Amino acid sequence: YNQAVELKSLAGQTVLVSAGPTVEQIDPVRFISNHSTGKMGIAIANALENVGASVILVLGPTHLKVSNPFVKVIPVRSADEMLQQCLNFFPKANIAIMSAAVADYRPAKVASDKIKKDEEVLTLKLEKTTDILKTLGSKKRDDQLLIGFALETNNEKEFALKKLKTKNLDMVVLNSLRDAGAGFGHDTNKVLLLDKYGGEQEYPLKSKQEVAKDIVQAIIGLQNA
């Protein structure tokens, strides 16, 4: 009986998840992107669906397939498209988890024709994208939970806690690129969860499926706190 209750603990709730990279066009044939595959975010979407949540997954370009037919996938390309879709679905969400590797900068102007190799040194002017997570944080209601990621290579905890505060998050999932077996493309991950109450939970290296379950359980714990 207990297990049945545990299994569907997010029944009736809507969860918005972002995942994958974004792609920022330079000209008709080139773009700026990153190594994210969306694997962690897709695993989170599956884990949420498994405990009964209605999941909306705003997903940047990836070769990975979302095998769970009950996860509603909203495909996007750029940071701006991801922002628009997240803003669109956030008001209906009880929980939002932003795991996407959003480009921090995009070309200030997209060239309409292919850029020719006329210059010895080419300088691209880049402008900052909107911080989607921070934008949602500024709109968050008291009845919503917002969870972000922090990808760091140094001063990990300090930087992650700063993101928790400045983006008005309930919890931050810290990923250190110093941990072997963690990060882009790997099937495994190692995370430290930091919540706004000062709670701190470190997990060992696990499969991304198992990490996703840990994250979902921690969120359920926060919701019942």
Which residues does the annotation place in the binding site for CTP?
104, 114, 149, 163, 167
Q: CB–CB of 16/58 below 8 Å?
A: yes
Q: By CB under 6 A, name the one of 59, 96, 98, 182 that touches ligand CTP.
A: 98
Of 13 and 129, CB closest to ligand CTP: 129
Q: By CB under 6 A, name the one of 102, 211, 216, 222 that touches ligand CTP.
A: 102
CA 64/CA 48 separation, integer angstroms: 18
Whether 94 sits among the annotated catalytic residues: the reply is: no
Contact partner at residue 149 from Ca ion, ligand CTP, none, CB < 5 to 8 Å by partner kind? ligand CTP
> What is the DSSP code string of 159-215?
HHHHHHHHTT-SEEEEEETTSTT-STT-SEE-EEEEETTS-EEE--SEEHHHHHHHH
- 219 lies in the binding site for ligand CTP (CB under 6 A): no
Query: Catalytic: which of 34, 68, 94, 168?
Result: 34
Strands (E), the chain: 14-19, 24-27, 30-32, 54-59, 72-75, 95-98, 105-107, 126-128, 145-152, 171-176, 188-189, 191-195, 200-202, 206-207
CB of 2 to Ca ion, least distance (A): 40
- 104 lies in the binding site for Ca ion (CB under 5 A): yes
- 150 lies in the binding site for ligand CTP (CB under 6 A): yes
- 149 lies in the binding site for ligand CTP (CB under 6 A): yes
CB of 28 to ligand CTP, least distance (A): 24
Interface positions with Ca ion (CB under 5 A): 104
